[in-house]
Amino acid sequence: MNHSFERITVLGATGSIGVNTLDVIARHPDKYQVFALTAHRNLQLLTEQCLKFQPKFAVITDRQKAESLQEILANHGLDTQVLSSVEDLEIVASHSDVDTVMAAIVGAAGLLPTLAAVKASKKVLLANKEALVMSGSIFMQAVKDSDATLLPIDSEHNAIFQSLPEHFVTDGIKSCGIENIVLTGSGGPFLNKPLNEFSSITPEEACAHPNWDMGRKISVDSATMMNKGLELIEACWMFDVKPADIEVLLHPQSIIHSMVRYKDGSVISQMGNPDMRTPIAHALAFPQRVDAGVAPLDFMQISQLTFDKPCFERYPCLKLAVDSIAKGGNMPTTLNAANEIAVEAFLDEQIGFTQIAEVIQQVLSQTEYAEVADLEAVLTADKESRQLAQKIISEL
C-alpha cells in the first residue's frame, strides 16, 4: 500500500455523510486512499462503492449479505476482505494501517467503533453525535489519554470550530475572550406549521427537509429539533462549555452554520451553502483546504438572513435535551436511547409525530438519575432506556 496517501476508514459509508465523504475523497485521488468501508444493510450501494474504491476491507453487519458481497467482489477480481460482525467495525476503525476514520454510523451503534478509533490515536472525523451525547466525559477523556485528533463534522460544530481561535484547544473558552456560542438551526420543515396540525404529520412530511439532504432518522430529529438538542449536548463536551454558554437560534436559510460571540463585541460566523461536503473537506484536509465540489455562496442570490428564538411548545424535544444535559449523569444517554426508539416507531407508523416527545418524556421521568462512571454503565443505561421506551410505545 502506498504510504504517501492518507488511508481512511469510512464507518457508515452508505449513509448521506458516507456518500458525501467518498465524493470528496474521489476528487483527490492523489491525497486519499480508502482502507475500509462499512454498512449496516445497504448491500447494493456498498457493492458499488467497493468496486469503485477497492478497499482492503468491507464490513456489512449481515452475514448473508457479507457472503454475497465477497462473492461479487471476487468475481470482479478484487481481493477486498469482507467481514460481518459488530466487532469487525472496531477492528477496521483501529487498524494500524488506518490514518483517519470518518465516524458516520447513525445512533448508538456508532459509539464503540468510534471509541476504538479514538483509543488507537486516529484522526477521528466525528459525524456520530451520539458518541458524545451518550458518553461525553468518557469519550473526551479517551481523546486526551490517546492523543487522538478529534474534528467535528456536524455543520454546526464544524462552524464553531472554524470560528474559534487557534489557541482555544489549549487555553479553553474563558481564556479566549469568548462570550458565548450561538448554535443555529433551520427549524426544520414545520417552522410555520400550525401546532394543531402536528398530530397528523406523516413520516414523509417529516423527512422532507427544506435545506439539507439527510437520512430519515436525522431528518425526523431535525423536524422535532431533537437534532439541535443533541448538538447542544455534543457542543458542551466537544468545546468544554456549559449549556448556559450556548444560545440556540432559528435560522431558516441555513447559510450561517453557527457563530462565536467575543467579549469585545465581535461575532465570528462560518457561512456557506448547505452542503455537508464543506465540513467534510475541511476536516479531511485540516489544517489545509481542498476543493469540496461545493459552489461558493452567491451573495446576490441571498435575499435575507433571519433569526428567531425557538419555541419549546413547538419543539418540546429541544427542551427535553436542554433539561437532560443540565441534569447530567445517565440522562443524556436515556434521552438519546428513547429518541432513537421513538423515531423508529414514528417512521414505522406505530406512533404519531407528537408522541415522539411524549415517549421520551415518559422514559426520562421513569428513569432514576445515576452517575455513569464507565462505558459499561453507559451501555446499560442505553439498553434499559430502549426497553422502557418500547414498553411505553406498546402501551400507547
State how far Cα 34 lies from the chain centre.
Answer: 21
Residue 186's H or E segment, with its range, is: none
pLDDT tens digit string along 17-71? 999 999 999 999 999 999 999 999 999 999 999 999 999 999 999 999 999 999 9
Is it the case that residue 109 has pLDDT exceeding 90? Answer: no
pLDDT tens digit string along 283-336? 999 999 999 999 999 999 998 999 999 999 999 999 999 999 999 999 999 999
Cell of 118: 479514538
pLDDT tens digit string along 192-245? 999 999 999 999 999 987 777 778 998 999 999 999 999 999 999 999 999 999
Q: Report the alpha-carbon distance of residue 331 to residue 341 in Å, rounded.
A: 16
Cell of 21: 465523504
pLDDT tens digit string along 327-360? 999 999 999 999 999 999 999 999 999 999 999 9
Residue range 255-260: mean pLDDT, rounded: 97
Which amino acid does the sequence have at 71? E
Residue 35's H or E segment, with its range, is: strand 32-39
Which amino acid does the sequence have at 112? L
Neighbouring CB atoms inside 10 A of 19's CB total 18
